Amino acid sequence: MEKSLIVKKSKIHGKGVFANRNFKKGSIVIKYNLKPLTKKEFENLSESEKHFTSFENNKYWLFPSPERFVNHSCNPNTNPDLVNKYDIAIRDIKKGEEITTDYRKDNVPGLDMKCNCRSKNCKLVIKNKTN
């Protein structure tokens, strides 16, 4: 686990990832070291573990910790770079702020969840464009 990030209880949902130092706009906040899964391995995961997966390039990917605890926000402070597998700060992030991203850009299979991010432009329900 990187020292620049910590996992603790979140007001948005369950656990969240928090900045343990300041991040400048445009810098890499979190790298995604995703573990590839076969279809069978994916199907054998518990329902709660399936929330920590994505489907890209015809493969299932499991998010390790702390990446799996990044919460969605409709007004996120990071933007995913899907090619290089990291989240970039889209504004300056101060130490202690929760790191958030837009799940709709991450191709989470069967994404359909209520949002509790409390931002002004909250969509209330988060769904993939594809479902």
Q: What whole-number distance in Å separates Cα of residue 130 and Cα of residue 9?
A: 31
Smaller CB separation from Zn ion, 75 or 84: 75
Binding test (CB under 5 A) with Zn ion, winner from 7, 37, 113, 122: 122
Binding segment for Zn ion (CB under 5 A), chosen from 36-44, 67-75, 93-101, 105-113, is 67-75
Q: What whole-number distance in Å separates Cα of residue 18 and Cα of residue 95?
A: 8
Strand partners, 105: none
Smaller CB separation from Zn ion, 94 or 118: 118
Angle at alpha carbon of residue 99, lines to 94 and 100, rounded to 5°: 130
Q: What whole-number distance in Å separates Cα of residue 109 and Cα of residue 16?
A: 20
Smaller CB separation from Zn ion, 4 or 116: 116
Per CB under 5 A, does 30 bind Zn ion? no
- Residue pair 17/7 in contact (Cβ under 8 Å)? The answer is yes
Per CB under 5 A, does 111 bind Zn ion? no
Query: Token pair for residue 98?
Result: 């929760």
As measured in angstroms, the least distance from the Cβ of 117 to Zn ion is 3
Per CB under 5 A, does 12 bind Zn ion? no
Residues that bind Zn ion (CB under 5 A): 74, 115, 117, 122
